[in-house]
Structure 1
Amino acid sequence: MTSPLQGWYHSWIAALRIARRDAWRAKGRSALVLAMLALPIVGVSAADLTLRSAELSTEQMLSRMIGAADARVSRSGMNGPINQTPDATSYAPVGGYKAYDPSKSSRETPPEPVQSGFPAGAQILKDSFGYGKVRTTHGLLETKLRELDTHSPLVGGMITLERGRLPENPGEVVATQAFLKNSGFFVGSSVTPRGATSSYKIVGAYEVPDDLGRDEIIAPPGTLLAPLGKALEASGGRSFTPEDTYLVKVGGEGVTWNAVKAANAKGLTVISRAVMLDPPADSDVPLYKDEPKEQFSRDGNNAVETAILATVVGLAMLEICLLAGPAFAVGARRSRRQLGLVGANGGDRRHIRSIVLSGGLVLGAVAAVTGTVIGITLTVLLRPVLEETLGNRFGGYDFRPLELGGIALLAVITGLLAAIVPAVNASRQTVLASLTGRRGIRRANRVLPVIGLIAVAVGAAIALYGTTSQLGSTVVAGGSAIAELGIVALTPVLVGLFGRLGRWLPLSPRLALRDAVRNRGRTAPAVAAVLAAVAGTVAVATYQHSNDVQMRHEYQADLPHGTGLLEASENGAYKDVPALREILSKEMPVAQRADVDRLVVGKPSCESYSTDPGCGRAEIVAPKEQRCPLYENPEGMDAFTEAQRRELRQDWRCQDSRYGTQHPVLVGDEKVLSILAVTDPGSVSALKAGRAVAFDKRQVKDGKLTLRIITDPKAADAMRGSGTELPGEDKILPVHLAPDTAVSWGVDLILPPSAVKAAGLVSAPLGSYFRLDGTATTEQRQKIDGEIDRMGVEAALRIEAGYQGDNSLVMLALAVFAGLVTIGAAGIATGLAQADAEADLKTLAAVGAAPRVRRTLSGFQCGVVSLMGVVLGSAAGILPAVGLRLTQRREMEDLYRHSIEQGYSSATEALPYVPISVPWETLGALVVVVPLGAALLAALVTRSSGALARRAAA
């Protein structure tokens, strides 16, 4: 007697054999389902292997950062003891920034040598770098200039020599592959940094494994940076101060956490191999006692992006299930005679279900193996391309069998899930209906729409709750997913509502719409699949567009749009400013130019903030009663209670909505106001009459402004922040105060030349503001840069082009992706509809319908499915985007309020601007272009004629 277990086993073996043979017999339909199931497995398995291989282990990361050394040490620049995170990515002064007063740090005391922070006998290798422009075959290229003993064993793993050799003698350098590509040079070429008195021969090419796109050259120690700095200093150019870091090798157990803290006490930051491999507990990190750990944590930065990714991936898997489901349903109907024979020979409903489910299992298993193999193969073959795209080399192939196996299992589960509904429907067919080919009549499910409505309401409520929950984006993503599933459950009812529009349509679209409504079991999953694809795209597009609107709002322009500033460095370049102005007018489409000068205290070559002997500066001094008490008290904000700080922040003296000051005092005429778009008639009249114009009301009292001439800047800097007035001679100037609505673009005071002369002051040429007639081309920018370089002058050219966001490209890519997926989904649904409705099409041909009716009907079938899916998906995709933006708004507002309470923020009380903006252009393209394209494509690929149906045998 056969046991139940053996009977179950043999029945499933038979079902699998039947499913395998049926899949082989219907190769076209099987290939379609196989492609749908395998495609995401290809992408996910390839992405898993790529990301895991690109994700370096701690040891691999350290090898690239510190080579074979035990630590990399650098100075913090705070001139005092600090505390750092174990990975040295962040640090703060001891006691936190709240108690930190930069003016009290001893800048005159030279920093202690790095060797003092480590035991005697430690091996220390200096690694210095700076940035400068290098002459290339195309012009000038901003390049990282580096000095390092590349022959030292401590450097192993930091760079990879590709060809040539390492530099050994002065005058030799090695260059990165990216530098050679961008500069037009090759191994054997000579390269000359701008300002250098001699050239350097490139003897080798290398790459930095974790930054393949870096433009960099390396020379032996003491042969590049120091000579370049001396040459620039001798030529009167800007000072060149490289940054020094040190590779340290101490042996033994390496640089321990105690050694790191000892180095922090000397103002040094340390990346330690021993600490990175074995981090200390949070309780042993002094920094976390002064500042909250969350302030230095990066885990929450990608929470929203992770939620969006999870939502899109989930909807993509749902789409596959929904697309594969109709394919299995059509396959079951095409095989209904075979299933009827099973029932006629004693098979019961569970046997029918097992046969259809076995089809999903077989195709899912094949898709799992095929997709995983193809994904891994593509990753291996495309590794160089992937590394170039990511910008870093893999640490090696990191195969994770459990992850790859889980991804492959996803295809099997998806196949089974897609076959569940067709299996249940096939098992409900009577044997007579299956053998005769009748489909029978099924009542519409009235429970499913109710469940769908409940799911939509509950999901929306959960998503909205997530905007106020601490879990934030995770709850929003979960609620959005539930709501999406609810809309999917409502799809059959919604399809029926669309069917009511058929009475106003011509013949072909009316037939297509009625066929879609009559066969909701086939249409609803296809519409839901398109809905899922579009919903994910709309969610991401809405989030990206809203973020782009926020970035555009937060963008602070340096100048009015279409204007620019050409300014020379102050160190001796004032003599060349007239020539620079002529070059500007010659090479650029200048519509208007306003020449400006700067005030000089001492020699004309003195810089504004110079502390050299014989040089001073001019500073605007606000009346004492109009200064903000929060910043004037020597004890800082700790001298006030929280209530006092809150009250003072509302004081007009502590509020400043003006942009950061770039040029406190400029000398110029009314043309400057015209270019800066200051249209106040009073300001223009004042400059014409020789009266100064001020833009900060806190600096003006009774129509006058105090300009303090400081002749000893060192003494003034030492007294700054002490609460006492800085020494100097005061010049009282009558000024006109511009209205608060006037934007000064970083200028506090504009002095006309006559006012400068009347005050007994001296000015020197600085540069020119200008407004362009149109826009400046890349060729014009390169040409003027070349002219400035030939003059040997240090000058900066800025042109305000406004906010340059790239989200428009992201939105375009998303729209194209949604279009392709939607057209593909609609095409698949149309193909299934044609296979399922072949008898109806042959009947049309038999009753004399024109051949084009078949083609037109196919096009409208595809267009109807696309249109319904796109409309519903566009509406459904808004919810997760709105929820995620509201979550981000709450988090930013909480962070802002916390910063206000702690005294870290600026004096303004304005809350962060986090808008919700719908990308109507993208939605319009989806609703109009995608269904139209899908309909035209389906019509073009459909044959206009078909064979007449033969009479079925009795």
Structure 2
Amino acid sequence: MRALLAATRPTRRDITRHPWRILAAVLLIALPVFAGTWLWSHGYSEEQATRSLEQRTEAQLIGGSCTQSIDGTASDCTPSAQPATVTQQELLAAHLPEGFTAEMRYQDWGTGSHDGKQIHLAVQQRASGRMPPPGQIWLTSAAADALHVRAGDTITYSPQGSRPDVELRVAGTMPGYTSVVAEPALLAPADLLNEPEMPGSATWSITGPTAFTWQDVQALNAVGFTVRAQDVIDNPPPTEEIDPAFRYQGYLYPTPTTDWSVQIVTVAGILLVGLLALLLIAPVFTIATSRMARNFALMSSQGATPWHIRLAVLAYGLSAGVIGATLGAVLGVGAAAVTWFLHYPTWSFAVPWLGVLGLWAAAVLGSTLASLLPAVVAARASISAGVQGAAPDRLLTWRPWMALGPVGLLLLGLGVFGARFFVAATTLQFWSPLLALVTVILIAASAPAVVWGLGRLGARAPLPTRLALRDAGRQSMRSVPALAAIIAVLAIAVGVQTHLASEEAREQALYAATYRGSAMLLAPDIDPETAPDERSIEEVVATAQQAVGPSQRIDLRGVRFDPESAGQREIFLGSMTCDSPDDSSMCLYLAREDRVTGPFELFGGSLFEASPEALDLFLLDDAARSRALAALDTPGILVPVNFPASELPVREVEFNHEVGDLDVHSETVLPTIPVLPELAPTMLLTPPALREVGASSDYLGTVLLTEQPLSAGQRQEIARQTSEDTVGTMISFTPLSPLSGWWSVALAGTLGLGVLVVVTLVQALSWQSVRRQFALLDAIGAPPGLPSQVSGAFSGLLALAGTVCGVAAGTLGAWLLTSTTQLHSSGAVLSTGTAGYFLPDWRMQLILLVLTPVATWAVGSLFHRRLGELEYRET
């Protein structure tokens, strides 16, 4: 113990005497811990608040008699022909064990309105536990923000169906997704008969003096209830007591994850984030180690072993980690508590102490590991050179181990390039986190070679540039870690951005080849209970037209899809399947993976009516449009030009709950007319075809075909404006992923700012050691402005080397992960690749390769600027 204290005494003394030197490391560690602790604590409190609304034992009436899985997620109930004569509360009371009681929990969905604003609102009614006073409501924070209300305001809740509206006073806000009222604001238990058909959803919370058993569950199953009992889940019955159909259903018997590839990719992603964080904080410890080289040499001369030197350096990382992690955790929990009580003053704040402790420990461990490499370097330093002030970090000669990183990157690139010819692009993209992790490791290993190469350049360059390049190799403890961090972060960020941009460019190109332009879709909700009337839709359409600017209005008609179609018939196109090798043409059609999602796929319709206006949505040449218009007067189905079948069945079906399948009541076979674009997944029925199958054509919604594409920000603002006019209107846009304009510029600006911060941090931390060097230059008559020029050149060249290598590595990695167009042996296209749409963003490259080095050079030149007479003995 005495040896440990003695070994770490120089480091501890340096920390106490020069606290500002460790401040950078503390902040770099504290900031991510602060953010992680804040978000984790806030999310954990929301989760605990939501769980407080849950019960250990819940029952729900299905009707008749039931059998179920242990956890109640799967069940089968035989309906009863007996009419309802008692309430659910009375039925439960008659079949619950002695001493048990049941309390109704009623879940309802409807509309909340206040001062002309309306939203969908999910409300839970409770009789006990955490709930507001009678006649009041706890609104979720999202609902309160949407309605622009606060405590004390009054809202109108309109339940589904024909039930009357309810006036509720806002008692405050709550976390989660479901608002809460007190019983009997929406429904009294005495009004709930023994029948499952009712608006909303009623469950019963069961409590009692003992644990609920499997026999108790079966007793309630016999009278039509399904039960979720945590006591039964924790202590499951023998398998032979469970119905064979449900013995292995539900989350009680989960299938173990045996997909080792998913586990490897997940671990690789976590390690990648951790490694990038280590690279970002490593310069702090390497520069500190270089600054204390003379102290370590003196320790060695007095008998300290290499292990003692390593302990001294690791103590620096450990101290920074403990201080930074503690500061971040305390401030994070405090900030989460403040924001929590500001939003939810009546709800308790919960801290995930185990998670906070784990995050704290991970930060301390990461900080200590970041100081491991400089610890090894310091322990191997020469005693005589260190006593004289030399730092153990000079890369003056080439060493064989420097080739490991560049050679590894070359082999990795060749391996991925060769795999493109034998492995599907989706497989390579699946393994991309692991490839990125290996790439970052090799980039970090390549940084010494890059720094050594910089030291060999500039033989004929101006003096400040020559000195800066020389210092890059002679002070590698500050240049190598910074360069490794810059290259690694830029490579990952640029690679991801370029890959996503290629994917987006392909989607945009395919959409533009199928549909005429960007579109805004307005449609009534598929739920008839919340769907607005035609007058309300017209008001929304008028508002939307003003918001989007010049546009073409297209109303779509067809057969609506009813999600609550139990016991009702539904008309839809017969399913297309590939059941045998004889269906090779249909198999190829169904195997196409790059079909474009357009306006029709986002509407709630089972059949769409073809019309001249609907055809305006497609990009059709004159011949195809003429054929399509001519076909509107005959029964048929408009399909894509490569559709393989000459006819399709249109079926009228009804879901049979007893057998769990569809009953086909009628079937009409109609000819297909191939006129739509190749990548359109939509099929349209002509008006005579709809009449032939006996379907009535209803209004499905409106499409506004805009003249100019709408950015992501415009879409959000337009959707917000129009959604406030009425509840029950679905608003969506196509294409689904719009070109986001300047988002790559914002990303490049953020990355450039990060490079500037890293290089500035390196300059600030190495101020003392570099100052000695410039004092020697002053002593031999160097011009007064030379130190400033050298600092600027060093910063600019370090940033330029990092951005060039990082952008090149990221761009090359994104190109290696592009996909090529996949063809069937017959020549049919299966999917369109992204290789033809690969185009690096020139704006990002301009910011990173030009503006960032220039800005870094300008900031670096502010260091070591002399304004007065030279002081030659400033050492």
- Deviation, structure 1 residue 175: 3.4
Question: Which residue identity does 2:183 align to in structure 1?
Answer: P
Structure 2 vs 1, CA of residues 249 and 806 (structure 1 numbering), >3 Å: closer, same or farther? Answer: farther
The corresponding residue for 2:275 is: 314
Q: CA offsets, 1:508-564, max 9 Å, x none?
A: 334322332354455334423434444565576578768878998999999864334
The corresponding residue for 2:200 is: 242
The corresponding residue for 1:223 is: 186
- Deviation, structure 1 residue 138: 5.2
Q: CA offsets, 1:658-691, max 9 Å, x none?
A: 7768545555642321134444635445536861
The corresponding residue for 2:351 is: 396
The corresponding residue for 1:332 is: 293
Structure 2 vs 1, CA of residues 277 and 923 (structure 1 numbering), >3 Å: closer, same or farther? Answer: farther
SS at match of 1:395: coil
Contact 2:107 2:202 in 1 (8 A): yes
Q: Distance in 1 between matches of 2:790 and 2:467?
A: 7
Contact 2:110 2:530 in 1 (8 A): no
Residue 334 (structure 2) aligned to one of 371, 376, 381:
381
SS at match of 2:684: strand
Contact 1:530 1:826 in 2 (8 A): no
Q: 1:908-947 counterparts in 2 under 5 A?
A: 920=841, 925-945=847-867
Q: CA offsets, 1:647-666, max 9 Å, x none?
A: 65764698486776854555
- Deviation, structure 1 residue 786: 6.8
Which shows bigger deviation, 456-465 or 307-316? 456-465
Contact 2:759 2:798 in 1 (8 A): yes
Residue 185 (structure 1) aligned to one of 139, 149, 153:
149
Structure 2 vs 1, CA of residues 369 and 515 (structure 1 numbering), >3 Å: closer, same or farther? Answer: closer
The corresponding residue for 1:670 is: 612
Are 1:498 and 2:454 an aligned pair?
A: yes
Which shows bigger deviation, 471-480 or 307-316? 471-480
Residue 802 (structure 1) aligned to one of 735, 746, 761:
735
Q: Distance in 2 between matches of 1:850 and 1:933?
A: 24
What are the ranges of 5 or more consecutive residues in structure 2 without an aligned counterpart? 823-827
Q: TM-score with structure 1 length normalisation?
A: 0.67
Identity of matched residues, %:
19
Question: Which residue identity does 1:35 align to in structure 2?
Answer: L
Structure 2 vs 1, CA of residues 646 and 425 (structure 1 numbering), >3 Å: closer, same or farther? Answer: farther
The corresponding residue for 1:35 is: 23
Contact 2:483 2:798 in 1 (8 A): yes
The corresponding residue for 2:467 is: 511
Q: Distance in 1 between matches of 2:122 and 2:513?
A: 28
Q: Distance in 1 between matches of 2:642 and 2:563?
A: 20
Are 1:592 and 2:581 an aligned pair?
A: no
SS at match of 1:429: helix
Residue 854 (structure 1) aligned to one of 763, 766, 787:
787
Aligned residues: 826
Structure 2 vs 1, CA of residues 801 and 453 (structure 1 numbering), >3 Å: closer, same or farther? Answer: closer
Contact 2:106 2:202 in 1 (8 A): yes
Are 1:137 and 2:126 an aligned pair?
A: no
- Deviation, structure 1 residue 862: 0.9
The corresponding residue for 1:695 is: 638
Q: 1:107-256 counterparts in 2 under 5 A?
A: 119-120=96-97, 122-137=100-115, 139-149=117-127, 152=128, 156=129, 159=130, 165-167=132-134, 172-194=136-158, 197-202=164-169, 204-208=171-175, 211=176, 214=177, 216-221=179-184, 223=186, 241-256=199-214
Are 1:726 and 2:687 an aligned pair?
A: no
Q: TM-score with structure 2 length normalisation?
A: 0.72
Residue 706 (structure 2) aligned to one of 754, 772, 785:
772
Q: 1:439-458 counterparts in 2 under 5 A?
A: 444=397, 446-452=399-405
- Deviation, structure 1 residue 47: 6.5
Q: Distance in 2 between matches of 1:866 and 1:224?
A: 67
The corresponding residue for 2:825 is: none
Question: Which residue identity does 1:124 align to in structure 2?
Answer: A
Contact 2:65 2:221 in 1 (8 A): no
Q: Distance in 2 between matches of 1:351 and 1:572?
A: 81
Q: CA offsets, 1:261-285, max 9 Å, x none?
A: 8878999765433256567899999
Structure 2 vs 1, CA of residues 757 and 240 (structure 1 numbering), >3 Å: closer, same or farther? Answer: same
SS at match of 1:192: strand
The corresponding residue for 1:101 is: none
Structure 2 vs 1, CA of residues 503 and 296 (structure 1 numbering), >3 Å: closer, same or farther? Answer: closer
Which shows bigger deviation, 587-596 or 386-395? 386-395
Structure 2 vs 1, CA of residues 426 and 276 (structure 1 numbering), >3 Å: closer, same or farther? Answer: farther
Are 1:72 and 2:58 an aligned pair?
A: yes
Structure 2 vs 1, CA of residues 275 and 935 (structure 1 numbering), >3 Å: closer, same or farther? Answer: farther
Q: CA offsets, 1:773-826, max 9 Å, x none?
A: 446887876776677x5xxxx874645242247999997786566444433332
- Deviation, structure 1 residue 505: 4.3
Q: CA offsets, 1:903-937, max 9 Å, x none?
A: xxxxx996899999797565664444433332222
SS at match of 1:738: strand
Structure 2 vs 1, CA of residues 797 and 941 (structure 1 numbering), >3 Å: closer, same or farther? Answer: same
Are 1:948 and 2:870 an aligned pair?
A: yes
Q: Distance in 2 between matches of 1:446 and 1:779?
A: 59
SS at match of 2:675: coil
- Deviation, structure 1 residue 382: 0.8
Q: 1:337-736 counterparts in 2 under 5 A?
A: 347-348=301-302, 350-351=303-304, 357=310, 359-384=312-337, 395-396=350-351, 398=353, 404=360, 407-408=363-364, 411-412=367-368, 414-415=370-371, 417-427=373-383, 429=385, 433=388, 444=397, 446-452=399-405, 484-503=440-459, 505-520=461-476, 522-535=478-491, 537=493, 561-566=517-522, 577=534, 584=541, 588=545, 589=549, 591-595=551-555, 598=558, 619=571, 648=583, 651=586, 655=590, 662-663=604-605, 665-666=607-608, 669-679=611-621, 681-684=623-626, 687=629, 691-692=633-634, 694-696=637-639, 726-727=665-666
Structure 2 vs 1, CA of residues 587 and 880 (structure 1 numbering), >3 Å: closer, same or farther? Answer: closer
Question: Which residue identity does 1:933 align to in structure 2?
Answer: A
SS at match of 2:468: helix
Larger Rg: 1
SS at match of 2:553: strand
| RMSD of aligned alpha carbons | 6.3
Question: Which residue identity does 2:210 align to in structure 1?
Answer: G
SS at match of 1:739: strand
Question: Which residue identity does 1:325 align to in structure 2?
Answer: T
Contact 2:585 2:644 in 1 (8 A): no
Question: Which residue identity does 1:421 align to in structure 2?
Answer: V
- Deviation, structure 1 residue 861: 0.7
Q: Distance in 2 between matches of 1:715 and 1:413?
A: 61
SS at match of 2:121: strand
Contact 1:649 1:909 in 2 (8 A): no
Q: CA offsets, 1:487-509, max 9 Å, x none?
A: 43443332232345425644433
Q: CA offsets, 1:177-234, max 9 Å, x none?
A: 55334323344433223587545131622524xx2xx3635253463699999xxxxx
Contact 2:759 2:795 in 1 (8 A): yes
- Deviation, structure 1 residue 136: 1.9
Question: Which residue identity does 2:852 align to in structure 1?
Answer: V
Contact 1:325 1:421 in 2 (8 A): no
